[in-house]
Amino acid sequence: MPPALYFSLRNHLLAQVADFFVNVASPSEAPEKTSFGDIDLIVAEPKMTPFSIETLAEVFNAERTIASKPSCYLAIPYPGLEESFVQVDVHICEAENFAWEVFHQSHGDLWNLLGSSIRPFGLTANDTGLHLRIPEIERLDRKRSMVFLTADPDSVLDFLHLNKARLSQSFGTVTAMFEFACTNRLFRSEAYVKSDLKANDRKRMAQRDLYRRFVDDFVPNTPTKVDEEDSMKMSTREEVFEEALERFGKRFDYESRVREWRKEREQLARKQEARQWRKEEAAADEAYANAWIGSLKRARN
């Protein structure tokens, strides 16, 4: 869709869906887009319960709907084109997570860029919030290693020393968004060396043009300044780890997770030792039985 049609239709749909939900928004688009595909809407707190997707489909005049909780996908007529449709993705989230989900999905690939910066320091941002990974657990179970820190966008921006006022505005250009990503205090150009990228980042290189441009063109050719004070304070993952626990008040959660994990590992080790002991006992019994049978055969001969 051309931009004028996209924004007109998106705003019309937002107004319609506002009749059914307290919180409605559409994530900010990536800069410099000249054409648009799907329309993404994020909503929370239905004004009527139970809420029916069929009701929304009727209001949108949708030809087809697919419900896949917590989202639904609707095909609505493309204005002015017969037998053509626009896909509208409506994501229904919890009220307490609404602001974070809008924040995390906004500005196109911005969080892909930031994610590669914060990952080496043990931080992960996903659709539920910012998390801290516990190294001891991460080696065996990445999902369980993550301790939830916060789903408050302002707190995350403060922690990363990113300008909240700047993010609230449209970037206007891709270069402006790239420059903003580099102001993250944990930005290090070495995290974007093409030959050293993780599998997921290599996949992004192939699928996401803005991410590829950032890695191939912007980072190698643009001198970036990392605040000297930030660089000195945040030189290791361990330092970031400790500050995050204190800043977000998650030390108890971290210590509880580690205790639980170590207890499970100890129990598993005991079970494995017991299985090994039984295996060795069975082997010894079998060897004894074979020797006894052998001696009987020899005695008969």
* Residue 104 confidence (pLDDT): 94
* Residue 41 confidence (pLDDT): 97
* Residue 227 confidence (pLDDT): 45
The list of the chain residues with pLDDT below 70 reads 224-234, 274, 288, 301
Provide the strand spans (E) within the chain: 21-25, 39-46, 64-68, 71-77, 85-93, 123-126, 129-133, 146-150
C-beta separation of 140 from 258 below 8 A: no
Tell me phi and psi for residue 275, to 5 degrees.
-65, -40
* Residue 234 confidence (pLDDT): 53
* Residue 277 confidence (pLDDT): 75
**What DSSP string runs through 200-252?**
HHHHHHHH-HHHHHIIIIIHHHS-----HHHHHHT-SHHHHHHHHHHHTT-HH
* Residue 224 confidence (pLDDT): 60
Indicate the pTM of the whole model: 0.83
C-beta separation of 130 from 124 below 8 A: yes
C-beta separation of 50 from 67 below 8 A: no
* Residue 301 confidence (pLDDT): 64
For the beta carbon of residue 169, count every other beta carbon within 10 angstroms: 10
